[in-house]
Amino acid sequence: MRRVFFVCTANSARSLMAEALLRDMAGDQFEVASAGTRPGEPHPLALQALTEAGISTEGLRSKPLADFQGQYWDYVITLCEKAAHECSAVGRGAQQ
């Protein structure tokens, strides 16, 4: 199973939504996680948009990058330029 890791600054909207969307669309093919370089609370509008699209938000929470330190990821996808510069400490990824 391929492992995909989404990173943005706060892990409050873009990366959480990407995690939930990929898990919903292809969760049987990918292990998915997301984190933020400076995590905050999940944005209510992001959670609302997912719910309105019929995508589960159960267990979805903002997580710090440190929780995933040293893990291997097949794909590390940064969702903003700032996170791309700050996430060099994230585990090894085959494709970034």
List residues with catalytic annotation: 8, 80
Dist CA 50 CA 95 (whole Å) = 27
Alpha helices (runs of H) in 6-55, residue ranges in sequence order:
14-26, 44-52
Centroid of chain to Cα 73: 12
For residue 65, with 0-12 CB atoms within 10 Å meaning exposed, 13-18 middle and 19 or more buried, which class applies? buried
**Residue 73, φ and ψ in degrees, nearest 5:** -130, 135
